[in-house]
Amino acid sequence: METQTIKTKETTAKTTQRISGSEAIVKCLIAEGVKVLYGYPGGAIMPVYDELYKYQDKIHHVLTRHEQGATHAAQGYARISGNVGVAMATSGPGATNLITGIADAQIDSTPLVCITGQVPSQLLGSDAFQETDIVGISTPVTKWNCQITKASEIPEAIAKAFYIAKSGRPGPVLIDITKDAQFEEFDFSYNKCEGIRSYNPIPKTDQNSLEAAAKLINEAKKPFIVWGQGVILGKAEVEFKTLIEKAGIPSAWTIMGASAIPTSHPLNVGMVGMHGNYAPNILTNECDVLIAIGMRFDDRVTGKLDEYARQAKVIHFEIDPAEIDKNVKTDVAVLGDAKTSLKAILPFIKTNSHPEWHQKFKDLYQIEFDKVIKNDLHPTKEGLTMGEVLKEINNQSKGEAAIVSDVGQHQMIACRYADFNVSKSNITSGGLGTMGFGLPAAIGAKMARPDREVVSICGDGGYQMTIQELGTIFQQKAAVKVVVLNNEFLGMVRQWQQLFFDKRYASTEMTNPDFVAIAKGYYLNAKRVTKREELADAVTEMMASKEAYFLEVCVEKEDNVFPMVPSGASVSDIRLE
């Protein structure tokens, strides 16, 4: 631990206490304001669990049913609250089971601190029972990680971990602590980390770049904004809204940016990307200035890069310098956090409205409505659509619910049709596309914000990847509303098979169990809906429930999600059918 850090001055004078490494871990977590953590005990982390038992009035440990569930729950906790999520596991399989959630948090910039137990230091490298090189394994998917073999190293490592996880572009960190370090006694004191000399979390915003960006925006005839999660992570929702309203710029979101401004905002023109809305995809290739804010030009957003917004000047507001020119060449890069840079550019921006340009979005929306949305939300055919379920949820939630989705068709439908009135309401696995995310993430979200309605929307495939977390819902009395949109298929893969593999439905058909019986087995209120006339009442009952509630909706088996930008196609080649 030779990295130099800055410590807070006022706390350094505190007298030290002689305690064990494991007690120190718990005290550090409490000092960082952690109220809830998610995890699973086992041999190499038992001393810490013993301390958690002693400190249970100060810090609540949630036993998930699988370590993957612990990371996803911690992610849900972090995504809805903006605070660091904490997950804990033992060595070996406990630690490796965290990896999927860590990778998910890395690609979706979610602040997580993961603590793993490790075999005693004298056994390291000897293939001891439940030994894995978790530092080696987690290196490519963590923002930072380290292994601790001495108790005295614990406070500084944990202080650094929290600082790194939440500062700048957030991300997951992992600390692996050997069992002997957990037992060892030392003189404990805790100082929060306030800086690391090799790490510059927020690059300085350059005044020239701001002015250059403002000039491009002011001169644009057809400006277009695509915003991402950077607006939410940077707590820049107000600044963002002020900017787009002043400049009158139609603005579209990436899946991770959803909910930063309300769905109903007149300048919100919908989602970009593979299953995004028609207008923003088509008009990406017609705008003259493309303003990207806190987003990273993922391939699911850009489609074919060689035909992405080639006509436009590109401005990129971004906190992570490594994202500049990574996928799309920028004309003006504005580094810094969104809140600061958007606030700083505002005085240079001229008031504008671009009515003709807006009309184009409205016209294309009408085409999408007639061809797709109408049939999704107001179907005339017999089978239920995923879209109408979302519409019912909107009717009940009035857009105030946090929607936690899994991955697949239902996710795209949820993102397309859910109404979001408040920021941090779309919690989903965007970058990694982790099936199994939805259920445990909803538990974390509900526990972080018990005051908010949290609705988990899953498909029948992903739901069964982490279905055991129903046990956590029951044990924690987490009042999560769980909706499974059951089409008895791995729907998104089936859709691709239909469109691109001549309907060869290889291993996508699911023979499912009785989901209602399973939910009832976990003592949850549960209901199944198979007919349209039952839907509204069932959703009403679910939303009115004070406790957790499970609702299975049997939807049309072979519905497809449209619009769609086929893989490798240009965004303007988006298909409506």
- Which one among 97, 145, 434, 476 touches other proteins, defined by CB under 8 A? 145
Residue pointed to by tokens 């993430």:
441
- Which one among 125, 266, 321, 521 touches other proteins, defined by CB under 8 A? 321
Q: Which helix (H) or strand (E) holds 370?
A: none
Q: Would residue 179 show up in a list of annotated catalytic residues for this protein?
A: yes
Q: Would residue 67 show up in a list of annotated catalytic residues for this protein?
A: yes
Using CB under 8 A as the binding rule, whether residue 152 contacts other proteins is answered as no
Using CB under 8 A as the binding rule, whether residue 547 contacts other proteins is answered as no
Among 17, 129, 183, 501, which one carries the catalytic annotation?
129
Using CB under 8 A as the binding rule, whether residue 204 contacts other proteins is answered as no
Measured in whole angstroms, the distance separating CA 387 from the mean position of its chain's CA atoms is 22
Dist. CA 234–CA 164, nearest whole Å:
15
What does DSSP say about strands 251-253 and 549-554: parallel, antiparallel, or unpaired?
Answer: unpaired
The smaller minimum CB distance to other proteins, of residues 197 and 477, is found at: 197
Q: Would residue 130 show up in a list of annotated catalytic residues for this protein?
A: yes
Dist. CA 554–CA 557, nearest whole Å:
8
- Which one among 77, 144, 357, 437 touches other proteins, defined by CB under 8 A? 144
Q: Which of 21, 51, 148, 110 is closest to 441 using CA atoms? A: 110
Dist. CA 25–CA 158, nearest whole Å:
8
90, HSE (Cβ side, Cα atoms, 13 Å): 18
* DSSP letter for each residue of 170-226: --EEEEEEEHHHHH-EEEE----EEEETTB-SSPPPPHHHHHHHHHHHHH-SSEEEE
Q: Would residue 235 show up in a list of annotated catalytic residues for this protein?
A: no
The CB-of-320 to other proteins minimum distance in angstroms stands at 7
Dist. CA 354–CA 139, nearest whole Å:
47
What is the contact mask toward other proteins in residues 153 to 172, using x (rule: CB under 8 A)?
-----------x--------
State in Å, rounded, how far the first CA of the chain is from the last one: 57
* DSSP letter for each residue of 394-448: HHHHTT-SEEEE-SSHHHHHHHHH----SSS-EE---SS--TT-HHHHHHHHHHH
- Which one among 60, 246, 326, 532 touches other proteins, defined by CB under 8 A? 326
The CB-of-219 to other proteins minimum distance in angstroms stands at 26
The smaller minimum CB distance to other proteins, of residues 136 and 513, is found at: 136
Using CB under 8 A as the binding rule, whether residue 9 contacts other proteins is answered as no
Show the tokens assigned to 17.
Answer: 């206490």
Asked whether the beta carbons of 180 and 22 are under 8 A apart, the reply is no
Q: What is the footprint of other proteins within residues 169-198 (CB under 8 A)?
A: 195-198
Using CB under 8 A as the binding rule, whether residue 56 contacts other proteins is answered as no
Q: Would residue 75 show up in a list of annotated catalytic residues for this protein?
A: no
At 116 the three-state DSSP class reads strand
The CB-of-444 to other proteins minimum distance in angstroms stands at 25
Using CB under 8 A as the binding rule, whether residue 4 contacts other proteins is answered as yes
Point out which span in 72-80, 100-108, 142-150, 554-562 binds other proteins (CB under 8 A). Answer: 142-150
The smaller minimum CB distance to other proteins, of residues 143 and 339, is found at: 143
What is the contact mask toward other proteins in residues 120 to 139, using x (rule: CB under 8 A)?
---------------xx--x
Among 160, 179, 360, 481, which one carries the catalytic annotation?
179
Among 274, 386, 492, 542, which one carries the catalytic annotation?
492
The smaller minimum CB distance to other proteins, of residues 432 and 564, is found at: 432
Dist. CA 138–CA 304, nearest whole Å:
31
Which residues fall within 8 angstroms of residue 356, CB to CB, at 6 or more apart? none
Among 23, 32, 51, 67, which one carries the catalytic annotation?
67
The CB-of-24 to other proteins minimum distance in angstroms stands at 21
The CB-of-199 to other proteins minimum distance in angstroms stands at 5
Among 7, 35, 46, 130, which one carries the catalytic annotation?
130
The smaller minimum CB distance to other proteins, of residues 195 and 521, is found at: 195
The CB-of-318 to other proteins minimum distance in angstroms stands at 11
Dist. CA 342–CA 267, nearest whole Å:
17
Using CB under 8 A as the binding rule, whether residue 325 contacts other proteins is answered as yes
- Please give the positions annotated as active site: 67, 129-130, 179, 492
Residues in the site for other proteins, rule: CB under 8 A? Answer: 2-4, 135-136, 139-140, 143-147, 164, 195-199, 320-326
